[in-house]
Amino acid sequence: MKSKIKQKNKIDYNKKFVIEELFADPKIVDMHEKRLKSLLTNETSNEEIQKRINSLVIKENAFNTIMEYVSNNFTYSIDEDELETVSTRFAKQFSMDLVKDKDRIKVISEKIIIKSLIFKEIAKEQKISVSDAEGKEYLEKYYKETNRPINELLKSEEKFNEIKEIILEEKITEFLLKSFKIEFNLEKK
């Protein structure tokens, strides 16, 4: 990664956050629903899918609150070539127009890079890693939930390492969500 990060303040993992309002982009919620329906077996009820979406919305709100705090403890230098690469990949993945949606794509791509830099720092600081055994266990669980083949992912070192990166990201996300105290106060205003 050509972009750089420098810690300016120590992260207080005992910090408490109070979330008073939930935010959910309808397009993101719809995307989650479609993804879950395509991945899960036909036996999964709509109620179960809705429960998973609600859980994702709550988790995303908590995570975004934590990341806002954590990211303010660092300074960044974003490499322009890297930003362009991430922007192009993001636009392609989500069928966005690189010209029409340029500003939105740039902001999101910067956040992707910053999150990646922060996660690398946290993984190093907290000694969080992923073994090959964890990668195989993850893929076996994926197979049981989706009935999709996993042999290609197991045989390709590059694809297997991508899976391990996904697991590492999940472990760091869980570490952050468990480390900070999150309280929800969602009373109507």
Task: Kindly report the CATH number assigned to the domain that includes residue 15.
Answer: 1.10.3120.10
- Domain holding 91, by residue range, is 4-128
Identify the segments of the chain with pLDDT beneath 50. Answer: none
pLDDT at site 20: 93
- Domain membership flag for residue 26: yes
Contact call for residues 173 and 63 (beta carbons, < 8 A)? yes
- Domain membership flag for residue 45: yes
Q: How far is the C-alpha of 32 from the C-alpha of 46, rounded, in Å?
A: 13
* Torsion angles phi and psi, residue 20, rounded to 5: -105, -10
Number of domains composing the chain = 1
The single-letter DSSP state of residue 114 is H
- Domain membership flag for residue 121: yes
Give the closest residue to 132 by CA, choosing from 151, 157, 107: 157
Give the closest residue to 180 by CA, choosing from 56, 52, 74, 68: 68
- Domain membership flag for residue 176: no
